[in-house]
Amino acid sequence: MLASYTEQIDQALTDCLAEFTTPAELYQPVQYLFEAGGKRVRPIICLLACEAGGGNPANAMSAAIAVELLHTFTLMHDDIMDRSPMRRGRPTVHVKYNENTAILSGDVMIGMAMRMLERSAELAPQPIRVIQAFTTGLIEVCEGQSMDMTFMERHDVTVDEYFTMIDKKTAKLLEMSAAIGVLIAGGSDAHLHHLTTFMREIGIAFQMQDDLLDLAGSPAFGKAPGGDLLEGKRTWMVLRMRDLCQMPSAQTGHRTLIESFFAKNGLVPDQVPAMTAALTEIGVLAEAEQKIRSITEEAFQHLYQLPASPAREALATLAHRLMSRTN
């Protein structure tokens, strides 16, 4: 089911991109970024949520493309802001073309997304609710990115603020994809609640796990272990370690390490093994794993409030796959 949906989504995406070709300077970078592929997680969620909500997934196909366009817009603009040189194994749009192009092609992708969304919204019992869910996603993802950027200049980010940030930056677009699917189906409020909560919690667990996996690096993608530690990224782990190191019982070595992380906005490569060891010794890694497990379990409790169906099982499979990535 997932493989067949991915194929249909890729076809619909190709059809959509063929509608937007002139001026080439504006639309080629969009094409370029999509050519690099992607797992199409958000459009799959949208289609499955529609189906699980009792709707015809074909009605949600344009909306599925819309959520992928919105997600890809965030990648294009975030890459400028984060000065990222590579994305999906190729130069980022602002590097391959230039920054102005990446700004403007990102902007028009919001318009393309809305154009696609309208087509599915028209088939929904309450079209405006579909648009509202999309708007919420757009606003929240900008707020999340803003918080993420500001965190880099702060030493006092709280664990709560971290959760708010990943909720907005990562989880809300997954939640939005589910909400749009259910709303196109005209599913019940209970359906909407359980499916969006499921996706949102999976999104939070996924982001925490992503941060955890970064410690091991990903040699296949040329990522060194502890990349986030080198960049000074405020992950749950360093925030938790900072809090634990404020206790009188904390080891001086640990305290020195975490203070150095905040003071210099990141570690040097030589400090990474000691930091990984410290995170293990203080129990932060075990605690993170435990947190990820409990959030994931709570998420599934929401999913299993829905009546059994092939779409529900496919959503479970998708979530398990997301959570069992090892790089």
Q: Please report, as ranges, the residues that interact with a second copy according to CB under 8 A.
A: 22-23, 25-26, 77, 80-81, 100, 103-104, 106-108, 110-112, 114-115, 118, 121-122, 127-128, 131-132, 134-135, 138-139, 142-143, 145-147, 149-150
Distance of closest approach, residue 269 Cβ to a second copy, in angstroms: 26
Q: How far is CA 168 from CA 73, 287, 308, in A?
A: 16, 23, 29
Distance of closest approach, residue 261 Cβ to a second copy, in angstroms: 22
Output 194 or 233, the one with its CB closest to a second copy: 233
Query: Which long-range contacts does 75-79 make (Cβ < 8 Å, 24+ apart)?
Result: 75/33, 76/29, 76/33, 76/102, 76/105, 76/106, 76/109, 77/102, 77/103, 77/106, 77/145, 78/145
Output 27 or 34, the one with its CB closest to a second copy: 27
Say how far residue 184 (Cα) sits from the centre of its chain. 22
Closest CA to 155 of 88, 243, 85: 243
Distance of closest approach, residue 190 Cβ to a second copy, in angstroms: 24
Output 82 or 298, the one with its CB closest to a second copy: 82
Output 126 or 327, the one with its CB closest to a second copy: 126
Distance of closest approach, residue 44 Cβ to a second copy, in angstroms: 24
Output 2 or 26, the one with its CB closest to a second copy: 26
Q: How far is CA 104 from CA 78, 84, 221, in A?
A: 13, 17, 28
DSSP bridge pairs for 87: 90
Distance of closest approach, residue 25 Cβ to a second copy, in angstroms: 5
Spatial neighbors of 232 by CB under 8 A, at least 6 apart, are: 152, 261, 262, 264, 265, 266
Please give the structure tokens belonging to residue 199. 């996706």
Output 122 or 289, the one with its CB closest to a second copy: 122
Distance of closest approach, residue 80 Cβ to a second copy, in angstroms: 6
Output 121 or 306, the one with its CB closest to a second copy: 121
Output 135 or 305, the one with its CB closest to a second copy: 135
Please give the structure tokens belonging to residue 172. 């809300």
Distance of closest approach, residue 299 Cβ to a second copy, in angstroms: 26
Q: Tell me which DSSP letter residue 170 carries.
A: I
Closest CA to 167 of 202, 191, 215: 202
DSSP bridge pairs for 276: none
Q: Tell me which DSSP letter residue 37 carries.
A: -
Distance of closest approach, residue 147 Cβ to a second copy, in angstroms: 6
Distance of closest approach, residue 267 Cβ to a second copy, in angstroms: 24
Instruction: Kindly give the residue spans of alpha helices, DSSP state H, lying in the chain.
Output: 2-19, 24-35, 41-52, 61-81, 93-96, 99-121, 127-151, 159-166, 172-185, 189-214, 227-231, 236-244, 252-263, 272-281, 284-303, 310-323
